[in-house]
């Protein structure tokens, strides 16, 4: 009886190993893009963030070598005018992706260190409260772009 109990405990412990590894990759960033900026001093980056973990997470900061200041922003209606407003964090709930897109939540790239040209990729580091840091390569799209969806996807359809 004792031997059997020991065996069950061992099997249970082994089963936990893959779960622990999966938890490290619970945040998935899909279809990131940034708006090209050839003359302006600012730009913005957009993406969809999935949380495959079991607990709510939050995007709390971002940084990039192409911008001296990077903030998390949203848009609000203020007297009939759309205005951008910094937010402290962007919630990334389990099973409910955070969608950053023009006119809504975005990563604001302020005081660019150089032009952002369509076709290039810029590095962007995202810091999550639980998942830690992720550095991604963000494709730069033309100034009038509204996002992916013209055969530009990477097979991520949730």
How is residue 83 written in tokens? 């205005």
How far lies 134's CA from each of 47, 129, 145, in Å? 13, 11, 25
| The residue count for the chain | 158
By rule CB under 5 A, what string of x and - marks binding of each residue 40-79 to Cu ion? Answer: ---------------------------------x------
Closest approach, Cβ 141 to Cu ion, in A, equals 17
Q: What residue number has its CB nearest to Cu ion? A: 73
By rule CB under 5 A, what string of x and - marks binding of each residue 83-122 to Cu ion? Answer: -x-----------------------x--------------
**Residues contacting residue 61 through CB under 8 Å, at least 6 positions apart:** 70, 72, 126, 127
Nearer Cβ to Cu ion, position 71 or 91? 71
């Amino acid at each position: 009886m004792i031997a059997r109990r020991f065996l069950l405990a061992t099997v249970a412990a082994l089963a936990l190993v893959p779960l622990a590894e999966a938890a490290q990759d619970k945040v998935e960033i899909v279809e990131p893009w940034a708006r090209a900026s050839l003359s302006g001093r600012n730009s913005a980056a957009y993406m969809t963030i999935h949380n495959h973990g079991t607990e709510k997470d939050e995007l709390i900061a971002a940084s990039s070598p192409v911008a001296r200041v990077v903030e998390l922003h949203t848009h609000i209606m203020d007297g009939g005018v759309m205005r951008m407003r910094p937010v402290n964090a962007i919630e990334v709930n389990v099973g409910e992706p955070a969608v950053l897109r023009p006119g809504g939540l975005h990563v604001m790239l302020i005081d660019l260190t150089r032009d952002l040209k369509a076709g290039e990729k810029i590095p962007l580091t995202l810091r999550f409260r639980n998942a830690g840091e992720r550095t991604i390569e963000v494709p730069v799209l033309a100034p009038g772009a509204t996002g992916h969806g013209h055969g530009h996807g990477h097979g991520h359809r949730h």
